Structure 1
Amino acid sequence: MTDASPSGACGASGQTTNITTSGSYWCSGVSSHDLFGNLINAGRLFISQTQYKYLISAIGQISNWSGHDSNNGNLHNAKNGWIQLNDYGSISGASYNWNLRQVNNNGTIQMCGRGDTGGSTYQIYSDLDLTNNGLISFEQYFSNYGSSFNIRNPTLTTSTGGANCYNNGAVRLINVNYQQVQNVYGSGCWQLGVGSTLYLQDGTGAYQNPTAGPSLPGQSIIFQDSSAVLHMDAKVYSRNSNFGAQVFGFGSGNAIEFYETISKFSYSGSTLTVTMTSGNTCNINLGSGYSAGSFFKARNPSKYTLFGYNAIFYNGAAPSRSAPAQCSLSAPICSNLGSTLPSTTATSSFASSTSSTVLSTSSAGAIVSSITSHATLSSSGTVSSSASQTTSGQALSSASSGTATSSLAVATTQSSSTVTSVCSFTSPYISTNTGTPYYPALATSYTTDPALTATTTSGQACPTTPENGTYCGFINPEDPCAPQPDGYGPVPTPDTASAFLAYPSLHALASAAPTVIASQCNTQYQQVFRDLNGSVSAQSYLGLYDLEVYDATVCAAHCDATNLCTSFNIFAERDPSLNPSNNDSTAPTVWGYYCPNPPSMTTFKCTLWGSSIDSSLATNTGSSREEFQVVITASDGYDRTNVTVPQDPTGSSTTSFSASTTIATSTSGTTASPVSTSSSAAAAASTSSWSTTHPWGNGHNCHGKAINASPYSMGSRFFPGGYNPQVCSDFALAQNAQNAASSASSKCEMFNAVYLHKNGKPWGTYCTLYSTSLDDSYATYSGGKSGSDQYDCKQSWTWSLRS
């Protein structure tokens, strides 16, 4: 049965709801869908807001279930039972809170949501023993925001007699930062998918572990994607140095993080041994076949902390090793529900197809993982161009993979990354930088480099041992009190934040900048604001360059050469010449530990944006780092968004899907560069061999109004970031390929790519597919309110299939 009523509930207090093998129950109405009483499920229970999901209308779904006696709060999900809480298409985070008496899962439980808006909560509590013999999957579709993801007992104890969690099946994590707060027993597997972090808090080793045994004894952990991370707080290994779970698939891109500072590490036989500066040791069974010399330590960048965590990486593919069968348990990844429930069963593999005209779950997963598997935004949904940091781990990643990433240590006026040009671009400026960063603190002799005090001649060893993946004389800017690069601008006297904000030399640069700059894309950049004390902060961020001179034409050239870029912001930033430290770090350093307010340097910065910008977005006014104050001035903004004709989207000669565009990713305070949207190296390799096709005619400008024609709609998707019609094309072509493979007659003949602003700020591209070509008479939606939020269409273009 289907219950499409608002706030439709499942079950009744004090009663048991029994869904048989052939039964399906679908709550598809808007808003909250709470559960009551007990549930025995051998069929299918789906909870969503599908019936009410029109354009940007549904806020985050809520599903609560609470019960603590024999008649309430007892879940038994049978072997073939499938429970899915699906909030894929709403405009904010989902909240699933199950506080139950007892949980017994032998089938599949999926909790799904957006992941790019923050606030998501997936929690399963069990008063009595919780037993998972099937698959529990926590999934987010667009990114991995939120940290309230856990399976646990409500009472945590260090003594005997308490309830426990037993995992004999699998727990799958996709784009979630999962927090484990107690020990878990059994023979199950933890599957770490794209964008996932298994964060083992101190409680993993302390709670429900009265004998101080290993953490996660008998469990397995498998890395299923190169972006997956395993994190351990100190008590995970301090009470017992032997980590209880076997680890499979640890290879390039993966990180094993530690809250403590790593002193040394070694690999022998099948065991990785990591020793901390505290003296604690952690022994991890990775299996045999690794090269001991290919392990290295670095900080792993994290959007949840400013500088990330100490971590162990491996430069190479994981050796082949058979994992337990539980590590292969799977179910279709959650996707947008159509007019019917998925026809596949929860026990099928990811690659299984469906006869539904709705895009199969495998293709849906490919779309989003290829576009957003590496995307990271700030917790507020915006990215600000504050003072940048980088790590030697980032530098190594760039060197070892062959994929250039822009880091502060190397990002000057010439980009180290390859960009997809949308114009005929010839650089008007040649950098004089030779590849070695410029360090103001060294140039002024405020500090000296111990690595350079010794001299070497050809053939001699470096006076200090470089970190893996770096070079002799490399300076890690994250080391306490380490010199910071690229401060080419003048510094006022006195060297204070207030003097910087009032500095006439900087204001003269901003005031002298041209009001119109010719673009090599047959348009012009118009100056939209001048000489502000703040830089742009928005969700359409594409990248950042440190410049040797304040020159808006150089910044314009970078925008011209970067796919999706239609606006830019150039400004001067007061940055510390040393990495501020106040005797509050234990990281190894040759620079000392006390420099809370070092002399400043002036950095000229150029940030690129995939949307229109204006003065209302110049909200990033700086920050404090220890006692040092970062501030911004001379901020000029330029825009050509409204006079830019988007590049016509392309296709490929294959029906397989992988987005062919490039996007840039960034965390607040981290320099970013365009990266391939392919979800894996293999996918990227296969993409390069495709022949490009041009299935669409020329784009048609709907002048900021979205097509509103629900009878012809075949579905829609939202992609955060800059305006990007290519992702809509990829979505449409993948849908058509899937429909053709399943003999479905429907075909997308036209798509509408709309760029939305949320509450006056750039938000992302909304794609809608239509079964026929429609004219301007259907372009009637310019925006509206949803709850307290205002949504406005800023760009709207349609493309129709060539006849």
Structure 2
Amino acid sequence: MRSALILAALAAMVAGNPLPQELDWAAIDEALADPIPTTTDSSIPTAPADALVTYDPVAEIAAVQKEISTDPISAPSPTATAAPEEKRSFLVKSLAKRDACQPEVDSFPKGPVVHSPGDDDASFLAYQPFHDAALGAVTPPGYTKSYTDLNKTSNAYGYMGWVAMASYDPLACSKLCDNNVGCASFNIHFERTPVVAPGAGCENPESTTLIKCNLWGGPVNFENAVNTGETRTNFVVVHTGSNGYVSKTIEPALGYTEPLYLEDAAINAPLNCDGTDSYMGVKIFNSGAPFDARLCAAACNSQNDYNTKQALKTKTVPRLCRFFNTYILLKNGVSVGQYCALYTHCWDESFATNKLQYRGSDRYTKVFSYAFANATDTGVHPVCPAA
């Protein structure tokens, strides 16, 4: 579990209104220096039995708890430095490279094969039944459609593998997502693929069609639909009829309220009326594991354990985490990681106003934003004079 520690300054106050709460640039720089592992269709297993990735939330949560106990979140400080961390990655198995001209997809169910007017990418992309299937597809219960009938697929957060389907069936694909822990969205599409591995002697082999259901641990959207295919020797792989769907639910965090969906906005908490700050710090998770609010809850709880122990030693009152806001942070549309901002007390959706920040020419946005409050102790805002 990779994470980064807080170095952010306090939010500024101008004319009684807070400026957007500054992102933790030092933590972001650390995350970007060790980016999320990326995967393409050509680098994952192709056997349906082992193509999907297994996510173990118990192990990931335990890793967060261990990390906080030895390397807690620091109080906001412009001079603080993060201690070196153990780097862990959520890895996807690699596909063994096939020799040229060896069969690639014999064991898969196939979609309609397009060899007219030619066996080429243009004929494939123009094949109307692919578009009809995508345009006529019914959105599965519990999901929202994020895009329809694109000639590209997503490169979203938390890659979880794919399965070849016998038909273009978003409902069946949604059930695969529902039954795989950590899955938050899926993309279904037609892919032009070679029947044998391209290479010497088979530079541009005959094509066939796979109907792929790709699962993701974060949301698919138009912005991250960037995969238009690839050229393998002289064979052109393309996608079409691509639909994306995002689940309306996420896993609850034990001991916390039901998730409050904030869409593409983050909490922008002002200073309290007595001048104190409820903001405690941030964790960024970018191992490549699925988006999981329970990781933030583990960080919040473990930080409380650490702060309580330290307060007993110093005979002071500990600062306790009672609320967190988590989302996927994007830099120019590419995922930086799962961002977890921790607070001493609860803020409602009226404070979810932080959507866009620039750093130089780089554009930072948020998606899949949720807020959680401690179910039994939401914290007490300071009582100040009405003035």
TM-score w.r.t. length of structure 2: 0.69
1:559 counterpart SS class: helix
Counterpart residue number, 1:99: none
Counterpart residue number, 2:156: 538
Counterpart residue number, 1:767: 340
- Tell whether 2:259 aligns with 1:699: yes
The Cα of 1:487 is off from its aligned counterpart by 5.4
Indicate if the aligned counterparts of 1:510 and 1:531 stay in contact, CA closer than 8 A.
yes
Q: CA RMSD in A?
A: 3.8
The Cα of 1:512 is off from its aligned counterpart by 3.4
For residues 542-591 of structure 1, what are the alpha-carbon distances to aligned partners after superposition, in whole Å with 9 as ceiling and x for unaligned? 33222122212111111222334333211111111111122xxxxxxxxx
2:321 counterpart SS class: coil
The Cα of 1:606 is off from its aligned counterpart by 0.9
Matched residue type, 1:517: P
Indicate if the aligned counterparts of 1:752 and 1:768 stay in contact, CA closer than 8 A.
yes
Counterpart residue number, 2:253: 649
Cα distance in 1 for residues equivalent to 2:311 and 2:177 = 44
The Cα of 1:697 is off from its aligned counterpart by 3.3
Q: Structure 1 734/697 Cα, relative in aligned 2: closer, same or farther at 3 Å? A: same
Indicate if the aligned counterparts of 2:203 and 2:235 stay in contact, CA closer than 8 A.
yes
Q: Structure 1 700/604 Cα, relative in aligned 2: closer, same or farther at 3 Å? A: closer
Cα distance in 1 for residues equivalent to 2:176 and 2:321 = 35
Counterpart residue number, 2:222: 615
Counterpart residue number, 1:602: 209
Cα distance in 2 for residues equivalent to 1:774 and 1:762 = 25
Indicate if the aligned counterparts of 2:157 and 2:219 stay in contact, CA closer than 8 A.
no
Give the percent of matched residue pairs that are identical in Structure 1 and Structure 2: 27
Counterpart residue number, 2:136: 512
- Tell whether 2:311 aligns with 1:735: no
2:269 to 708, 714, 724: 708
For residues 155-207 of structure 1, what are the alpha-carbon distances to aligned partners after superposition, in whole Å with 9 as ceiling and x for unaligned? xxxxxxxxxxxxxxxxxxxxxxxxxxxxxxxxxxxxxxxxxxxxxxxxxxxxx
Cα distance in 2 for residues equivalent to 1:144 and 1:306 = 12
Cα distance in 2 for residues equivalent to 1:617 and 1:504 = 25
Counterpart residue number, 2:95: 390
- Tell whether 2:193 aligns with 1:575: yes
Q: Structure 1 741/143 Cα, relative in aligned 2: closer, same or farther at 3 Å? A: farther
Indicate if the aligned counterparts of 1:487 and 1:601 stay in contact, CA closer than 8 A.
no
- Tell whether 2:200 aligns with 1:495: no
Counterpart residue number, 1:750: 323
The Cα of 1:603 is off from its aligned counterpart by 0.9
The Cα of 1:51 is off from its aligned counterpart by 6.2
1:756 counterpart SS class: strand
**Number of aligned positions between the proteins:** 321
1:478 counterpart SS class: coil
1:607 counterpart SS class: strand
Cα distance in 1 for residues equivalent to 2:74 and 2:260 = 29
Q: Structure 1 733/336 Cα, relative in aligned 2: closer, same or farther at 3 Å? A: closer
1:625 to 212, 232, 241: 232
The Cα of 1:768 is off from its aligned counterpart by 1.5
Indicate if the aligned counterparts of 1:707 and 1:778 stay in contact, CA closer than 8 A.
yes
Counterpart residue number, 2:60: none
Indicate if the aligned counterparts of 1:758 and 1:790 stay in contact, CA closer than 8 A.
yes
Indicate if the aligned counterparts of 1:333 and 1:365 stay in contact, CA closer than 8 A.
no
Bigger radius of gyration: 1
The Cα of 1:732 is off from its aligned counterpart by 0.8
Q: Give the helix-richer structure, 1 or 2.
A: 2
Indicate if the aligned counterparts of 2:262 and 2:352 stay in contact, CA closer than 8 A.
yes
Indicate if the aligned counterparts of 1:540 and 1:762 stay in contact, CA closer than 8 A.
no
Counterpart residue number, 1:718: 284
Q: How does 1:226-625 map to 2 (within 5 A)?
A: 338=75, 365=85, 369=87, 372-375=88-91, 390-391=95-96, 478-485=98-105, 486=108, 488-493=110-115, 494-514=118-138, 516-518=139-141, 523=142, 525-582=143-200, 594-625=201-232
Counterpart residue number, 1:786: 359
2:372 counterpart SS class: strand
Cα distance in 1 for residues equivalent to 2:372 and 2:10 = 22
1:613 counterpart SS class: coil
TM-score w.r.t. length of structure 1: 0.36
Cα distance in 1 for residues equivalent to 2:348 and 2:222 = 35
Using CA pairs under 8 Å that are at least 6 residues apart, name the structure with larger relative contact order, 1 or 2. 2
Indicate if the aligned counterparts of 2:159 and 2:217 stay in contact, CA closer than 8 A.
yes
Counterpart residue number, 2:56: none
Cα distance in 2 for residues equivalent to 1:49 and 1:746 = 16
Matched residue type, 1:578: V
The Cα of 1:618 is off from its aligned counterpart by 2.7
| Unpaired stretches in structure 1, ≥5 consecutive residues | 1-47, 60-86, 93-112, 121-139, 146-301, 308-331, 343-357, 377-387, 392-476, 583-593, 651-694
For residues 79-104 of structure 1, what are the alpha-carbon distances to aligned partners after superposition, in whole Å with 9 as ceiling and x for unaligned? xxxxxxxx5x1x33xxxxxxxxxxxx
Cα distance in 1 for residues equivalent to 2:102 and 2:10 = 52
Counterpart residue number, 2:376: 802
Counterpart residue number, 1:589: none
Cα distance in 2 for residues equivalent to 1:548 and 1:565 = 21
For residues 717-738 of structure 1, what are the alpha-carbon distances to aligned partners after superposition, in whole Å with 9 as ceiling and x for unaligned? 1224654211110111121222
Q: Structure 1 729/568 Cα, relative in aligned 2: closer, same or farther at 3 Å? A: same
Cα distance in 1 for residues equivalent to 2:345 and 2:246 = 34
For residues 720-768 of structure 1, what are the alpha-carbon distances to aligned partners after superposition, in whole Å with 9 as ceiling and x for unaligned? 4654211110111121222233345222122222343433455543212
2:299 counterpart SS class: helix
For residues 672-700 of structure 1, what are the alpha-carbon distances to aligned partners after superposition, in whole Å with 9 as ceiling and x for unaligned? xxxxxxxxxxxxxxxxxxxxxxx323334
Q: Structure 1 728/624 Cα, relative in aligned 2: closer, same or farther at 3 Å? A: same
Matched residue type, 1:488: K
Indicate if the aligned counterparts of 2:150 and 2:243 stay in contact, CA closer than 8 A.
yes
